[in-house]
């Protein structure tokens, strides 16, 4: 998830830099088509980042569920072992 956040920040930085260039140049050679292409690229990148973020969130949920299941099983084994200990001769 941190990697996805870094990618999103980098994409936003690119957009900010590009917009500063566009608005700071009086005789800008940047065409509307180029701006549209940049916007399309950034939109695609954002959509991919959102999809990646959703996938990572899903993965985290699955890992938490697996962790809960394993913890429950380990606890059950510990209880069983404690119950068996008095029955074992010293």
Q: pLDDT tens digits, residue range 51-79?
A: 999 999 999 999 999 999 999 999 999 99
Q: For the CA atoms of 49, 51, 52, 55, what is the dihedral angle to 10 degrees?
A: 160
Q: Residues 7, 10, 15, 18: is their CA dihedral positive or negative?
A: negative
| 3-class secondary structure, 42 | helix
pTM for the model: 0.54
CA angle (20, 26, 27) in 5-degree steps = 115
Note the pLDDT tens digit of each residue in 9-54.
888 888 888 877 777 765 556 677 777 888 899 899 999 999 999 9
């Amino acid at each position: 998830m941190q990697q996805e956040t870094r990618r999103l920040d980098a994409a936003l930085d690119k957009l900010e830099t590009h917009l500063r260039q566009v608005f700071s140049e009086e005789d800008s050679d940047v065409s509307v088509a180029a701006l549209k292409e940049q916007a399309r690229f950034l939109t695609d990148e954002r959509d991919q980042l959102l999809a990646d973020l959703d996938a990572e969130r899903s993965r985290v949920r699955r890992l938490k569920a697996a962790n809960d299941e394993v913890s429950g099983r380990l606890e059950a084994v510990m209880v069983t072992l404690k119950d068996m200990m008095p029955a074992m001769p010293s």
